[in-house]
């Protein structure tokens, strides 16, 4: 699960959390490593026209909830790497108070609360589609002729959760080996997966066990050779 701190904060602190999370997903800053510490000048903040947004957010959320709120929004990105809130492609902070932003956060929390359940269901979706496309197990995670691997295609279509992609990358570290011809969206997607990883605290051996149990019980005839190699 996500491990973050929780306490009441003021609007300036809310603004700094926003900047830090934005920098985590857009630059090389690591929010988890630096525990969200980020430099900003209160004087400059006091001149911003969007202060009302952060005043309202600081009243609505404690620190932990606000970190989670921003995290859920930055995961919901467009191909240009901008927050996709209210169906727009911009990062106007006024969107942060929209119902769509709150719904994005609620949906993210629901996914996290059902992480293992979703992982099992997603595995079934992935493996069934792999059989349909006559793929070997390892081919599920590989690009062919510069195209997206099956697992990423399924996530892009909304058939599986992005958390499942992150967990599989934790297990196999496959993202770094994918070579995609698309140079517009792929770098954004790859960075999103890698940037999400430090926030998602999961017991990787446990999920390897869940995956292998499913393979043994339901897919042994098709993917049993993977188990015999004893990888993961």
Does one domain contain both 82 and 46? yes
Does one domain contain both 82 and 150? no
Does one domain contain both 121 and 162? yes
- The answer as to whether 6 is a domain residue is no
Q: Cα angle at 211 between 206 and 217, to 5 degrees?
A: 125
Mean pLDDT of the chain: 89
pLDDT digits (tens, 9 = 90+) for 144-160: 899 999 999 999 999 99
pLDDT of 89 reads: 38
pLDDT digits (tens, 9 = 90+) for 65-120: 999 999 999 988 654 455 544 443 345 788 899 999 999 999 999 999 999 999 99
Dist CA 83 CA 56 (whole Å): 19
- The answer as to whether 122 is a domain residue is yes
Does one domain contain both 20 and 108? yes
**Can you give the residue range of the structural domain that contains 27?**
11-112
Kindly report the pTM of this predicted structure: 0.88
Is 157 exposed, middle or buried, given 0-12, 13-18 or 19+ CB atoms closer than 10 A? Answer: exposed
Does one domain contain both 164 and 222? yes
DSSP of 65-117? HHHHHHHHHHHSB-TTS-B--TT-SS--GGGGGSHHHHHHHHHHHHHHHTHHH
With bands split at pLDDT 50, 70 and 90, how would you rate the model's confidence at 231?
A: very low
pLDDT digits (tens, 9 = 90+) for 3-52: 455 678 999 999 999 999 999 998 889 999 999 999 999 999 999 999 99
Tell me, what DSSP letter sits at residue 149?
Answer: P
Does one domain contain both 33 and 133? no
- The answer as to whether 106 is a domain residue is yes
- The answer as to whether 40 is a domain residue is yes
Which of 112, 131, 165 is the endpoint of a domain? 112
Dist CA 227 CA 224 (whole Å): 5
Q: What is the CATH number of the domain that holds 157?
A: 1.10.220.50
pLDDT of 139 reads: 94
- Which residues, in sequence order, are CB contacts of 179 under 8 Å at separation 6+? 143, 146
pLDDT of 17 reads: 96
Record the tokens describing residue 162, joined without a space.
């992005």
pLDDT of 6 reads: 60
Residue 198 CA, chain-centre distance (Å), reads: 10
Judge contact between 25 and 83, C-beta under 8 A: no
Domain count for the chain, please give it: 2
Q: Phi and psi for 83 in degrees, rounded to 5?
A: -65, 130
Does one domain contain both 174 and 210? yes
Q: What is the CATH number of the domain that holds 89?
A: 1.10.8.60
Which of 58, 82, 112 is the endpoint of a domain? 112
- The answer as to whether 4 is a domain residue is no
Which of 112, 139, 159 is the endpoint of a domain? 112
Does one domain contain both 122 and 219? yes
pLDDT digits (tens, 9 = 90+) for 160-215: 999 999 999 999 999 999 999 998 889 989 999 999 999 999 999 999 999 999 99
Does one domain contain both 91 and 136? no
């Amino acid at each position: 699960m996500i491990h973050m701190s929780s306490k009441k904060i003021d609007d300036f602190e809310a603004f700094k959390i926003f900047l830090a999370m934005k920098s985590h997903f857009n630059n090389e800053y690591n929010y988890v490593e630096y525990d969200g510490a980020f430099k900003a000048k209160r004087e400059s903040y006091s001149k911003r026209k969007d202060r009302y947004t952060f005043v309202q957010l600081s009243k609505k959320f404690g620190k932990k909830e606000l970190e989670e709120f921003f995290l859920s929004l930055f995961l919901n990105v467009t191909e240009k790497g901008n927050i996709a809130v209210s169906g727009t492609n911009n990062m106007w902070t006024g969107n942060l108070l929209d119902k769509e932003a709150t719904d994005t956060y609620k949906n993210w929390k629901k996914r996290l609360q059902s992480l293992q359940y979703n992982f099992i269901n997603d595995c079934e979706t992935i493996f069934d589609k792999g059989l349909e496309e006559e793929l070997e197990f390892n081919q599920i995670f590989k690009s062919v002729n510069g195209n997206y691997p099956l697992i990423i295609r399924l996530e892009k279509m909304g058939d599986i959760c992005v958390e499942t992609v992150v967990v599989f990358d934790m297990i196999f570290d496959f993202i770094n080996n994918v070579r995609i011809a698309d140079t517009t969206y792929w770098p954004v997607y790859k960075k999103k997966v890698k940037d999400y990883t430090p926030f998602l605290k999961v017991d990787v051996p446990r999920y390897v066990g869940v995956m292998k149990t499913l393979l043994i019980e339901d897919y042994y005839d098709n993917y049993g050779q993977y188990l015999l190699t004893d990888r993961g």
